[in-house]
Structure 1
Amino acid sequence: MLLSAPSVRRAAVGAGALGAVLFGAVPMASAQPAPYPPNCTAADFSGVASGVSASSSAYLFTHPDVNAFFTSLHGLPREEVRTKVIDYMNANPQVKSEMGAIRQPLVDIKLRCGFTPQDSNGPNVP
């Protein structure tokens, strides 16, 4: 059985309230603030990335010419791919705008969570 997000939140709030009653609402002396902003966990990034990936897939399946272009890049050196993508996007501003809108949630979470351009050079982050 899958639980809905509101059900999970209610359970978490209930567990927190129960903990406060059982253990008292005394602050812990060693409590440390989270080392990252709220909603910037690996799970948050994974959720956003999966949504962007699904939307990208749907876009490419419904735009065969764009799909063919990106498919043709397979196996090329990274710098050549970069140059070809820039040239293609400059020649196709509507595709650039639509694909930019699809990727925007990933850009937004990176900005909100304090990523730097250097952070984007890791695996699975174009």
Structure 2
Amino acid sequence: MMSYSRRTRHRAIAGAVYIGALAGAAFFGGAPAATAQPPAPPPPAPPNCSPADWAGVRAGVAAATSVYLFTHPPVNDFFATLEGQSREEMQPQVQEYLDANPQVRAELEGIKQPAVDFLNRCR
């Protein structure tokens, strides 16, 4: 029969204990993770707030704006003068025009109201 040294037996026992500890940790430590509930899904978006809904609202606002500008040539002419300018250059001119034409402002705000409502509801 083979005789093992005290040191070899000690290493074998220590190795077995180490392997057992790893197995126990994997079994017992992994058990809560395996039985834990998955994270809750994010709350659903409000109804009618999908990207498709937003595209539809924008399309409707664009179509209504087009009709308005075609049926109000002076307003269309004013906005045509802004072509090629940066937003920063346009802003004060648009503000001045709308301040001088409150009826146009109210009508254009009414046209874009569905987009404002969508953003307020869906953000």
Q: Name the structure 2 match of 1:47.
A: 56
2 CA distance for matches of 1:96 and 1:90? 8
Structure number with higher helix proportion: 2
Any idea what the Cα deviations from partners look like across 1:68-98, whole Å, max 9, x if unmatched?
A: 1111101112111011111100000000000
For structure 1, the 5+ residue unaligned runs are 1-28, 115-126
1 CA distance for matches of 2:80 and 2:47? 37
Between 33-42 and 67-76, the greater mean CA deviation after superposition: 33-42
Deviation at 1:32, TM superposition (A): 2.4
RMSD, aligned α-carbons: 1.6
TM-score (normalizing by structure 1): 0.63
Matching residue within 52, 56, 60 for 2:69: 60
Equivalent pairs, count: 86
Q: Name the structure 2 match of 1:99.
A: 108
1 CA distance for matches of 2:43 and 2:82? 41
For structure 2, the 5+ residue unaligned runs are 1-37
Q: Name the structure 1 match of 2:87.
A: 78
1 CA distance for matches of 2:78 and 2:103? 15
Percent identity over the alignment?
Answer: 52
